[in-house]
């Protein structure tokens, strides 16, 4: 999967793929985005031909595929 665009609102990070699928994740899942300005959140690079989103200054990397396959509840159940 490759990102076509990435954007934010106050509560979520969104991604649209080149196949025009749209995914979102709550920003609260990523403490590294807490107290970051909109400009800081928008300073990212697409890596691996758009399959990863990288924030150098924030220190965060997200896979585009993860927007469609990640299940935080499932992960939590595995840890507990």
- List, in order of start, the domains of the chain with CATH numbers: 3-79 (3.30.2020.40)
Distance of alpha carbon 27 from alpha carbon 8, whole angstroms: 9
The three-class DSSP label of residue 31 is helix
Q: What is the pLDDT along the chain (80 residues), one digit of tens a residue?
A: 899 999 999 999 999 999 999 999 999 989 999 999 999 999 999 999 899 999 999 999 999 999 998 766 654 444 44
Residue 79: what pLDDT? 43
- DSSP 8-state class, residue 2: -
Please name the residue that has the structure tokens 């899942």: 29
């Amino acid at each position: 999967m490759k990102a076509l665009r990435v954007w934010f609102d106050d509560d979520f990070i969104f991604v649209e793929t080149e196949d025009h699928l749209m995914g979102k994740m709550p920003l609260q899942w990523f403490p590294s985005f807490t107290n970051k300005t909109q400009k800081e959140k928008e300073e990212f690079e697409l890596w691996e031909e758009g399959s990863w989103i990288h924030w150098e200054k924030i220190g965060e990397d997200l896979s585009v595929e993860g927007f469609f396959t990640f299940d935080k509840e499932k992960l939590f159940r595995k840890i507990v």
